[in-house]
Structure 1
Amino acid sequence: MTPIAVIGAGSWGTALALVLARNGSPTRLWDINESLVASLKKDRCNLAYDIPEKFPDSLEVFESLESLLADVQDVLIVVPSHVFVRVCQTIQPLLPANVRLAWATKGFAPTPPYFLDYFVGEIFSKDTPMALLCGPSFAKEVAAEQPTAINLTGNNEAFIESLLKRFVCRNFRLQRRADLVGIQLCTVTKNILAIAAGICDGLGYAANTRSAMLAKGLQETQRLILAVGGKADTILSLAGVGDTILTCTDNQSRNRRFGLALGRGGHIVQAKKDIGQAVEGYDNVKQLQEIANQHQLILPIFNGMYRYFYADLSLEKLADIFISV
């Protein structure tokens, strides 16, 4: 089997690299953080991101991006969404014309039209085989080989089949889904809803309030999916309702923890600093509101989150929106 290069050695990138390597795929791992790379090579695990599982021999850590990508056709990008485009621009000259690009990045790019597959098509080619992995999956649990199932979607049958062979094993399953745009949207909405769920709990509201808000948020997500050309039943997928349930109900979610801090009276800047990693939901609220405006959609939950972050809506008024009908 040919090697696959994983770009991004945070918790999620490391966990996916472990799945690949354990499953017999020659796996290369790189990160822009030189001190992190040095510790990965020394410790043969990722203690910086609380992943103590030892790297198999088939997982090789690279110091040089050029060496990482030498003679590689398949690439998996696992970086925060706000740097995804920049990473693609950096690696494009280093890759062959027949490159196949997958990503497990969740969220929007910072600039319109926001969807990551658009930028892959612009930087590489619209015919470039591309794929997205997304679903209910905490990195630490995947690294610890807890049974996990997520969605795999893309535009090229041969690439999809290749990724299935690389990834699928007893404790890690991929369910195919033919809706690249809809799945991408779910990676955004579930994080915003997780912040909202955290706010509910931080304010001291009980399960009734949170559940009503989530039901309405999922309905709004389905309307958004249809508006951008996705499929109605994508909301019921692992990446849709599955990842929303996971992210909104477990404190391993940094978006939920961010919301909890805000609901308990914390300041946005300090709450983000305390999380210590990208809070994708906060970054994507404004972009989602722009898409809703473009399609003339009235979405009270997502609009309420936008107004809370960027206007003068109070937490109490936001909570009223969560349970209004």
Structure 2
Amino acid sequence: MTMHQQSGGRPTEAGSEAREERRQRSRRDVFDGVETTELLIEERSQPLSHKAGRRRPMTYPASSLRHLAMIAILLLFTIDTSVEAFTFVKPSRSSAVHIRGHHGITKRGDSIRGLECARSGRRIPGGTRRRASGALAMSSRSGPPPFPVRITVMGGGNFGLALASVVAKRGVPTTLLVRSDDVARSINEKHRHPTYMSDIALPRTVRATTNKASALGDATYIIHAVPVQYTRQFLRSVAEYIPPNVPVLSASKGIETSSLGFMADILRDCLGEDRSYAFLSGPSFAREICEGVATAVVIASEDIMLADDLAELMAGEDFAVFTSRDVIGIEVGGAVKNVIAIAAGMCEGLGLGTNALSGLVTRGCGEMRRLGIYLGARPSTISGLSGVGDTFGTCFGPLSRNRQFGYRLGRGETAEEIRASMTEVAEGVDTSIALVKMIKERCKGYRLDLKYPILFGVAEIIEGNMKPLEGLKGLMNFPTRMENYDERA
């Protein structure tokens, strides 16, 4: 009989008070957020058995089990099981840095304040990315955003019209900056572009103008949709009208032939280093976007808060938006995929069959991956929407201008003849020439043409130094070697 028991085996009042005190202490520890709750339990340990050489099993009274059950129930009611809380529990390195930065936390290990923010109803950004539905709660809205926003789209081509339609359908006032008064009048009065996708009506909230000051002066965000080879000249003409604090989202893809720079380089040269920039890419044909066909894209920015804001602004039931910090990967994928599409079109135009086409596209994606890794891109970005995903759409989609250009090359037309007859720009034509020059300039190695045979071969064919059939057959007759896309250039 213990000191807390009477002769009849019933607990004394002192024993009951002691157990109640232990229960209250354990309960307080849980609610106070102590990481390790001290379980004050009675255990009867047995002395070491010298004969057996090990400690005998420990036994616990029933009160200990009751303590454990009570603590488990308390934890179920006190731990926040929201997405944000689980994102906090074990965040990735980038998410942890973002949580600390957003909530004013500068010391590593102080992220417990992030959990407090989640429990109080404030969202923790950085750890949760878009889902395939478009998807955080705010992104699924059908009406206008709860704050005043005005969007200006620079460029009245197919993709500029498509992105203007996307944001206008969310109820956001949208302005198209175009070059022609006739085009502006047609869009404002008939809600149709007279040349591009003239059979598709634009949302009535899309307005067009040629006045740069009125279009850009009060914009919250600016979307750039001018082809890359004309970007520098265009930006120089509008730079004075763009407020210094307005972010710019670029939807153009490719490499400038004069500077061998990507869109990020051109934007910083023309609009300044201090401005925030974002870049949109992915398998997204303009006509399908305007028709409301389901589309998934990715927006990358070094400022992840800007990428999140743009994703929530643009995402909807038929337009899913994912976010990324890998600007280099987005840019490399968007440029190289157009060159691969020209090669795929030539393969189809020559009638080389599905086997050759599949092998060519796969090897092209391998060259994209190798170049991206060398330039600092993440392999996961190259294998995602902006890399392999956009390549598949451009190589196999009937709406692809670069594929059509390559198909006509394969049928015997020259690059000059095709360009003269096209009303739209095939970005891969100029990009292929610039890409080869950039690889020779930035990549150090011997016989780079053997590491990037498809990229080099397309440039040779476009420049007229090689016939399409000769070039593609040469690409399919590699010497036997191990398949490896991760080696550096």
Which category of TM-score, normalised to the shorter sequence, fits these structures? over 0.9
- Residue 185 of structure 2 is aligned to residue 38 of structure 1: yes
The corresponding residue for 1:246 is: 393
Distance between the aligned counterparts of 1:129 and 1:311, measured in 2? Answer: 41
The corresponding residue for 1:274 is: 421
The corresponding residue for 2:460 is: 307
Distance between the aligned counterparts of 1:116 and 1:71, measured in 2? Answer: 24
- Residue 3 of structure 2 is aligned to residue 3 of structure 1: no
The corresponding residue for 1:151 is: 298
Partner-residue secondary structure (3-state), 1:48: coil
| Residue 38 of structure 1, CA deviation | 2.5
- What is the aligned counterpart of 1:218 among 337, 360, 365? 365
The corresponding residue for 1:324 is: 477
Question: 1:57-101: per-residue Cα shift (whole Å, max 9, x none)?
Answer: 322222311111122241101011111122222222112121211
The corresponding residue for 2:377 is: 230
User: Does 1 or 2 have the higher relative contact order (CA < 8 Å, sep 6+)?
Assistant: 1
Partner-residue secondary structure (3-state), 2:253: coil
The corresponding residue for 1:65 is: 212
| Residue 309 of structure 1, CA deviation | 2.2
1:202 touches 1:264 (CA, 8 Å); kept in 2? yes
- What is the aligned counterpart of 1:200 among 328, 347, 365? 347
Distance change >3 Å, CA 314–CA 54, structure 1 → 2: closer
Distance change >3 Å, CA 210–CA 322, structure 1 → 2: farther
**Mapping of 1:173-184 within 5 angstroms?**
173-184=320-331
TM-score (norm 2): 0.64
Alpha-carbon RMSD across the aligned residues, in angstroms, is 1.5
Structure 2 residue ranges without an equivalent (≥5): 1-147, 479-489
Number of residue-to-residue matches in the alignment: 325
Single out whichever of 46-55 and 82-91 deviates more from structure 2.
Answer: 46-55
| Residue 311 of structure 1, CA deviation | 5.3
| Residue 235 of structure 1, CA deviation | 1.6
Distance between the aligned counterparts of 1:312 and 1:53, measured in 2? Answer: 41
Question: 1:239-273: per-residue Cα shift (whole Å, max 9, x none)?
Answer: 11111011101221111111111111112112122
Question: 1:124-182: per-residue Cα shift (whole Å, max 9, x none)?
Answer: 22231100111101101000000000111012123212211220000001111221112
- Residue 165 of structure 2 is aligned to residue 18 of structure 1: yes
Single out whichever of 118-127 and 69-78 deviates more from structure 2.
Answer: 118-127
- Residue 272 of structure 2 is aligned to residue 125 of structure 1: yes
1:301 touches 1:321 (CA, 8 Å); kept in 2? no
2:372 touches 2:379 (CA, 8 Å); kept in 1? yes
1:300 touches 1:321 (CA, 8 Å); kept in 2? no
1:51 touches 1:143 (CA, 8 Å); kept in 2? no
Runs of 4+ with deviation above 4 angstroms:
none
2:183 touches 2:194 (CA, 8 Å); kept in 1? no
Q: Which amino acid aligns with 1:23?
A: R
| Residue 51 of structure 1, CA deviation | 4.6
2:180 touches 2:210 (CA, 8 Å); kept in 1? no
- Residue 238 of structure 2 is aligned to residue 91 of structure 1: yes
- Residue 294 of structure 2 is aligned to residue 141 of structure 1: no
Distance between the aligned counterparts of 1:168 and 1:18, measured in 2? Answer: 12
Single out whichever of 235-244 and 31-40 deviates more from structure 2.
Answer: 31-40
| Residue 123 of structure 1, CA deviation | 2.2
- What is the aligned counterpart of 2:200 among 43, 53, 69? 53
Distance between the aligned counterparts of 2:257 and 2:353, measured in 1? Answer: 34
1:73 touches 1:98 (CA, 8 Å); kept in 2? no
